[in-house]
Amino acid sequence: MNLPTYGFGAEQGLLAIYVEHPPKLAEFQNLNKVIALQTGEIDYINQQCGNGWRKVFNVYAKFVAELSHPDHDFTNHPEQYPSWQQYRDKRLLQQGCQEALLFSVPDLAANRYDWHIIAGRTYGKTLLRDHLFTNSLHWIDEEFAIDPVSKLLICPYLDYRQLSNIKISKLVALIRAGAS
């Protein structure tokens, strides 16, 4: 049985990051599928919902830029997106991207994404308690956990203080080590 999957970005692709709640805008409160954002919609969400969402999108774009996956648009077309800021504004979670920001429970059995990343230790522990979907999760430290078989990670929330540049590098290293 497939679980409902809903949020922003690609319906399938390289990675999905899961956060607990969508932006508090009426148009996103009843999502029942994954939708590609339109050009300028990230800026609109930032303006309407404040600094917290700006941080989410910025940290996500910085992570994608550092990940530098050979199948990802950011590295395939560096002339189009010479900075993570330009990638955020022109491609992140939009039509043709390879990533998703989901507000649903991870559905590992559906094989829609190569990697599943739960943003936030507390949210991750709640999901594990309420929807046991992995038996092989290993906590690396207080902030990071990995299940290399299911390609599932738990990391700090997408915020500059919680998922700093150093921790983004650690997350990228975990994915690279798990992919090899």
Position 119: which residue type?
Answer: A
Q: Which residue has the tokens 């230790």?
A: 121
144 closest CA partner among 124, 115, 165, 114: 124
Task: Please report, for the chain, the start and end positions of each structural domain, with discontinuous segments joined by +.
Answer: 7-179
pTM value is: 0.92
| DSSP symbol at 50 | -
Q: What are phi and psi of 124, to 5 degrees?
A: -60, -45
pLDDT tens for each residue of the chain, 180 residues long = 577 899 999 999 999 999 999 999 999 989 999 999 999 999 999 999 989 999 999 999 999 988 875 555 555 555 677 788 988 999 999 999 999 999 999 998 888 999 999 999 999 999 988 886 777 899 999 999 999 889 999 999 999 999 999 999 999 999 988 765
Q: Measure the CA–CA gap between 9 and 177, rounded to whole angstroms.
A: 25
Alpha helix (H) ranges present in the chain? 41-49, 51-67, 73-76, 84-90, 121-130, 165-179
Q: Give the burial class of 156: count Cβ atoms within 10 A of its Cβ; 0-12 exposed, 13-18 middle, 19 or more buried.
A: buried
* Alpha-carbon gap, residue 123 to 118, rounded angstroms: 7
Contact 40, 133 (CB under 8 A): no
